[in-house]
Chain A
């Protein structure tokens, strides 16, 4: 069992009616897919806001960061960096920059 710290963008914290970061217990391999499953089960109102409800594809303007890396383009079943799985570093879900 891993405890993953997840930091959400402000608009999603508002939807989920939470402050601060989320701690999720993950059974089995800690991957982006597993983290998002656990997140969406605890906060059903977030379904569809991070990834498509049917294809499970990440929405285009969402990014996953962790340990100073962009994890967005990794396959969703790729194990997360160890520092995230131990709770030392958070898993960041970020709204992509919009220029202009």
Chain B
């Protein structure tokens, strides 16, 4: 490996951080798309120079950006030069930011409402793309998790998007937004089975397809939400914050729920708690070591209303036993007066050896560990609030 590229989305732009394999000296590039919210930036596993970015703004809505040169230059993958920019009826063609829920009678999901805060049914309304998940094998195929919760797919490099509407038939009428919005924030692809996809939605739960997205089922048995749901073990409605899995263990899932860290060994059919001796089992991200499938990472946060580390100490917790037994990783991380949060998409691991791990904070710091979490260094300290962190190991 010649180096790593860390892709950082923030409240006010994107940044690309690069280093060699030692991961000690870093170059900071950006901001790209200054002034816009970058919920997620992610590279294609099939082509490391192909990057996708979700750029959004309360004023101007959703934009999809693409880079074909590793983040040096970006463009909106819209109408190619020379092709008509209008439809036959004279109206402008849709562009790469056109996300329209499929409500057609042939392929769509006729149920176009979900539960609203007041208990009434409310129409699905597109707000933004939270998460982009490029295909493991095809640079032009990419999935998008959006708010209001749904999954879209593009097979033309992000130019056009089609919903996989079967997801919303998985009791979508019972899904309800949490305080952060009803977002589909996690998409997990399976390298051994292209038909299988897991997604996670706040506040609906985890869902699985085994037929490439045509049909979906809730997979939330074993989750308990006694303070959030009238039926604590409801089939849907759980506020799942993030799920993760190791590519070599297709049936083993790890979850950071609103409260509780959970594990499934049967592809989500059942879950059990592995919070063990964590100082708090509330948090947002969860990640799995690149080379050790039973080594996992979380960042405990004090509570659902106090979104900062317990005792003002930023500690990444690592379990080498697949959960329950945790050790706080503190070397190089602030251990006093630290009141930042680490959001759900703001932790990532690289595939170098030793495995690198990265966290971005709402205080604008990005910390890196080049030794599986034993010690940490800040790559950069003063970015806008960090929304997402992804990392690529470069050939």
Find chain A residues with CB under 8 A from B95 CB: 44-45, 47-48, 53
A41 to B92, CA, bound (A): 6
Number of A-B contacts (CB under 8 A): 63
Given contacts A47-B94, A49-B61, A59-B60, contact A41 B35 (CB under 8 A): no
Q: Is the beta-carbon distance between A59 and B36 smaller than 8 angstroms? A: no
Find chain A residues with CB under 8 A from B60 CB: 11-12, 15, 49-50, 59, 62, 95
Indicate whether B79 reaches chain A with its CB closer than 8 angstroms.
yes
Binary A-proximity of B86-119 (CB < 8 A = 1, otherwise 0): 1000111111011010000000000000000000
Given contacts A15-B63, A95-B59, contact A44 B78 (CB under 8 A): yes
Partner pick for B78 among A42, A45, A59, CB 8 A cutoff: A45
Q: Is the beta-carbon distance between B59 and A59 smaller than 8 angstroms? A: yes
User: Count of chain A residues with Cβ under 8 Å from any Cβ of B?
Assistant: 22
Q: Is the beta-carbon distance between A47 and B63 smaller than 8 angstroms? A: no
Partner pick for B63 among A49, A54, A62, CB 8 A cutoff: A49
When C-beta atoms are compared, the residue in chain B nearest to A17 turns out to be B75
Find chain A residues with CB under 8 A from B86 CB: 41
User: Count of chain B residues with Cβ under 8 Å from any Cβ of A?
Assistant: 23
Indicate whether B57 reaches chain A with its CB closer than 8 angstroms.
yes
Tell which of A41, A44, A54 has the most Cβ of chain B within 10 Å.
A44
Indicate whether A40 reaches chain B with its CB closer than 8 angstroms.
yes
Given contacts A44-B79, A44-B92, A48-B95, contact A11 B85 (CB under 8 A): no
Given contacts A59-B61, A61-B58, A96-B59, contact A15 B94 (CB under 8 A): no
Indicate whether A37 reaches chain B with its CB closer than 8 angstroms.
yes
When C-beta atoms are compared, the residue in chain B nearest to A49 turns out to be B60
13 contacts between A and B (CB under 8 A): A11-B60, A15-B63, A15-B76, A40-B92, A41-B92, A47-B78, A47-B92, A47-B93, A48-B61, A59-B59, A59-B61, A95-B60, A98-B58
Q: Footprint of B on A, CB under 8 Å? A: 9, 11-12, 15, 37, 40-42, 44-45, 47-50, 53-54, 59, 61-62, 95-96, 98
* A-B interface, 9 closest residue pairs, ranked by CB to CB distance from nearest: A40-B92, A49-B60, A61-B59, A95-B59, A47-B95, A45-B76, A48-B97, A44-B79, A53-B98
